[in-house]
Structure 1
Amino acid sequence: MTATVSFTIDSPLGPRPATVAYERKGAGEPLLLLHGIGHHFQAWHPVSDVLAADHDVIAVDLPGFGTSAPLPPGVPYDLATVAPALGALCAALDVERPHVAGNSLGGLLALEMGRSGLVRSVTALSPAGFWSQAERRYAFTALRAMRVGARTLPLPALERLSRSGPGRAALTGTIYARPAHRSPGAVVAETLALRDATGFEETLAAGASVRFTDDVPGIPVTIAWGSRDRLLLPRQGVRAKSAVPGARLVRLPGCGHVPMNDDPALVARVILDTARAVGAGAARS
């Protein structure tokens, strides 16, 4: 069941209020789940029940996405603001240094939270920020095309398309390797989430100059990339490994940009293995 939480964030304009929607389930060490641009926390539903068998799972709609409120006017959607805001969110939920897994934009935010000491492990699935300028332009063009399609299609046409495998491929083939496996209802919901995302343009604008070049020392980090990622090409994983040399780089065979739907069992295992590495490292020391 969706809940909301309000908290105060630090911003270039001073302290400002923020309210986000989230879903929480399970018990154990906390695990924060962060979706990609234009998506919503339901992107994690293929894996969240499995993760909740071992963890207190908190899947969040990022500010300006899903049903979360946008950031206050003038507050930037950049790493320097949003990553600490997620730390403030955790404090508001009485969660201290969770594990974090993120996809795309969420993966970039997860790495920034790791670099800032806010979390105990990081799993980044096809994280943004390791692109060349040409690759970034290509990805942003594809995202804007998806956004235009989502905003142009009338709801009845969207619902008709979602009822067939080819229609689901037309709507979501950019981000899924197996779009026909996505349910019609889920495809409609995530297309509407993309259409209505109030933070979309400002997040893209903030991402135009982003390159993640810092190490994330002292905690387990896994960077995983789908072999069929058509949005952020798999070769970017090699750059990510170079920037974060202590990270484990994992290939996700047959998976697209949002791999939780393409191979839920594999993605869940990667996230759980990363979280368990914290205990293993403590035992070895």
Structure 2
Amino acid sequence: MHHLQRPEGRIAYDLYGAEHTGTTVICVPGMFDHRSSFRFVGAALAAAGHSVAVMDLRGHGDSDTAFDDHTDHAAATDAIALAEELGGGPTVMVGNSLGAGAVTIAAFERPDMVAGITLLAPFLRPPRSTRATRALQRVLLTRPWAPRALALFYGRLHAGRTPEGHREQLERIRRMLRPADRYRAVLATVNGPKRAVEWIEGSEHPNAEAVVVMGERDPDWKDPRAEARWAASVVGGRLVMVPDCGHYPQSQRPDVVVPVITELIERVNAGA
């Protein structure tokens, strides 16, 4: 584990293939997730010769809990800072859920650095919800039962194929949610504004090569394919739908995700 120093605290990240000279890849998970959800992707891309950094969000995993801003924009600034820390050259960024919003913002803000983006189950705009759904969410997010409820919800989002090591990953999530200060940071991330749509509305597509990957059984959306089509349209990217997969393609279907990212890297390097 490594740490990136930011003005308010440190961001934890794992580095796969640190000695490699291939493309730098930055991976950003979603809210109430741990960086280890990218364990298969990081290892496979490193085996292909790339240098892969997988970060935790602010207050998540092993990142510090001292931050005030927990938005997707804040995560974008951390991803950019991490890319600069690792050399600052043309970078491919991969984001899941809220992390997909973060790498989209990064592509808009730093077109000189972010050459390609892969959006996994992207959360680029809030899903529509009823008053009853919002009330239920408030109840579920109330301690002392909230850490267990969120861990159960995390498991439910894995509709379809169960990843190898899923039980250990669930325990990481439970452990992460137990301390009060860390849970406050996670709660701030869940309840905070999702700002990616601010960059998307009224803007041209980002310059970065883009691909959207969505699980066919993603429970976050009533119609995952329709949401994925919209996401692909606003970033000017192609769309890959993944069977037997919910909200976490990076861990549920790395056999699909790794080749998609590899092809994106090849397109980025061909256009450099």
TM-score band by shorter chain is 0.7 to 0.9
Which residue is 1:223 aligned to? 212
1:182 and 1:261 in contact (8 A); partners too? no
Deviation digits for residues 109-146 of structure 1, max 9, x if unmatched?
01111111241110010111234432899599669848
Give the C-alpha shift of residue 237 in structure 1.
Answer: 1.0
1:35 and 1:102 in contact (8 A); partners too? yes
Which residue is 1:190 aligned to? 173
**Pick aligned residue for 1:66 from 21, 45, 61:** 61
Aligned residue type for 1:81? A
**Pick aligned residue for 1:36 from 22, 30, 33:** 30
Aligned residue type for 2:16? K
Deviation digits for residues 159-194 of structure 1, max 9, x if unmatched?
xxxxxxxxx988602234233754422221123234
Sequence identity of aligned pairs in percent? 24
**Pick aligned residue for 2:105 from 87, 109, 112:** 112
Question: What SS does structure 1 have at the residue aligned with 2:114?
Answer: coil
List alignment gaps of at least 5 residues for structure 1. Answer: 8-15, 154-167
Which residue is 2:241 aligned to? 251
Give the C-alpha shift of residue 22 in structure 1.
Answer: 0.8
Deviation digits for residues 255-280 of structure 1, max 9, x if unmatched?
11011222111011111111111123
Do structure 1's residue 203 and structure 2's residue 198 form an aligned pair?
no
Equivalent pairs, count: 256
2:101 and 2:196 in contact (8 A); partners too? no
Deviation digits for residues 15-54 of structure 1, max 9, x if unmatched?
x333111110112211001111011110011222111123
1:24 and 1:58 in contact (8 A); partners too? yes
Cα RMSD (Å): 3.0
Write out aligned runs for 1:118-157 (5 A): 118-134=113-129, 145=140, 149=145, 151-152=147-148
Aligned residue type for 1:237? A
List alignment gaps of at least 5 residues for structure 2. Answer: none
2:212 and 2:238 in contact (8 A); partners too? yes
1:5 and 1:19 in contact (8 A); partners too? yes
Aligned residue type for 2:12? A
> TM-score, normalised to structure 1's length?
0.78
Against the structure 1 CA distance between its residues 56 and 254, is the aligned structure 2 distance closer, same or farther, given a 3 Å change threshold?
A: same
Which residue is 2:69 aligned to? 76
Against the structure 1 CA distance between its residues 61 and 81, is the aligned structure 2 distance closer, same or farther, given a 3 Å change threshold?
A: closer
Moved more, 225-234 or 169-178: 169-178
